[in-house]
Amino acid sequence: GLCCCPDEHRIDYVLCTIHDFFETKVTDPALYVGLQIERDPGSRLIYIHQRPYLKRIIHKYDFSDCSPISTPADCNLALRSSDSTDSDSISIFSFVNGVGNLQFASTGSRPDVTYSVSNVARFKSRFTNAHCNAVKRIFWYLRSTVDTKLVYGGTTSSTILTAHADADYAADLDDRKSLSGYIVFLHGGPIS
């Protein structure tokens, strides 16, 4: 597990209590469930990223040499369901595995691709080349921004919680449902 607290005595108490019941090993967190954790005690900052994972999946799907791209989705492209799956898209690109890899990155340290990933994930059972191209674009974006990190801390002020939400109106072209999203920040870094 991961234990975070500004008071070392509380951390020691929790760890001792757990140690009474389980065999434990205490180390500095550097890797936790696939997330790389870097600390800068001087500036009181914590960085979280998935650079090794992203590089691995970018290489796995052969996007290591793709051109840089500045956004994870084309705002002019509206994806629709299809009654049949393009056989070409299955042989060209493993859509479902690619989406799964992107979902892991999205939930771990890349909230900037969450909307785009969730949008293409809706079409896992019936996708076309347009959907595959949308997934490729997300990979291209991640390749361009592979060094992006979440940053937490840097301030000793009181806890600051900020939330943002947005929704469209009936933008789903298949069933006219509205799509919404939100992001919650704590000390300047996203937590939900």
Condensed to tens digits (0 to 9), the pLDDT of residues 25-43 reads 888 889 888 999 999 989 9
Q: Is residue 44 within 8 Å of 156, Cβ to Cβ?
A: yes
> Cα–Cα distance between 1 and 24 in angstroms, integer?
10
Q: Is the pLDDT of residue 188 over 60?
A: yes
| Through-space distance between the first and last CA atoms of the chain, rounded to whole angstroms | 19
Report the pLDDT value the prediction gives residue 92, as an integer from 0 to 100. Answer: 45
Q: What is the DSSP annotation of 129-151? A: HHHHHHHHHHHHHHHHTTT--EE
Report the pLDDT value the prediction gives residue 138, as an integer from 0 to 100. Answer: 97
> Cα–Cα distance between 149 and 36 in angstroms, integer?
10
The arithmetic mean of pLDDT across residues 61-88, rounded, is 82
> Which of 117, 120, 145 shows the shortest CA–CA distance to 132?
120
Condensed to tens digits (0 to 9), the pLDDT of residues 157-180 reads 667 888 999 888 777 777 777 778
Can you give the pTM of this predicted structure? 0.83
Q: Can you give the residue ranges of every domain in the chain?
A: 1-29, 49-144
